[in-house]
Amino acid sequence: MGNFLRFVGGLALGFAAGAGIVALLTPRAGTEVQADLRQHVDSALEEGRAASASKRAELEQQAGIRPT
């Protein structure tokens, strides 16, 4: 489990560094970049929440637990 957490941490750090570099080198206006980044982050968060809810429901079903 420790290796997985290190991988996820490295992935997040790489994503943040890449986003920062893109933000600095893009020819678009700052507000456009912010809106675009915000949209991507919101989309990623929503996908993560949906995946979490799906996995939770699957595990609850396997364990015989009724969803709350």
pLDDT over 70 at 67, yes or no: no
pLDDT over 80 at 11, yes or no: yes
pLDDT over 70 at 68, yes or no: no
- Structure pTM? 0.52
Distance, in Å, from the CA atom of 14 to the CA atom of 8, rounded to the nearest integer, reads 10
Angle at 36 between CA 31 and CA 40, to 5 degrees: 145
pLDDT over 80 at 54, yes or no: yes
Predicted pLDDT of residue 23: 73
For 14-40, what is the mean pLDDT?
82
Indicate the length of the chain as a whole number.
Answer: 68
Predicted pLDDT of residue 50: 94
Amino acid 51 reads: A
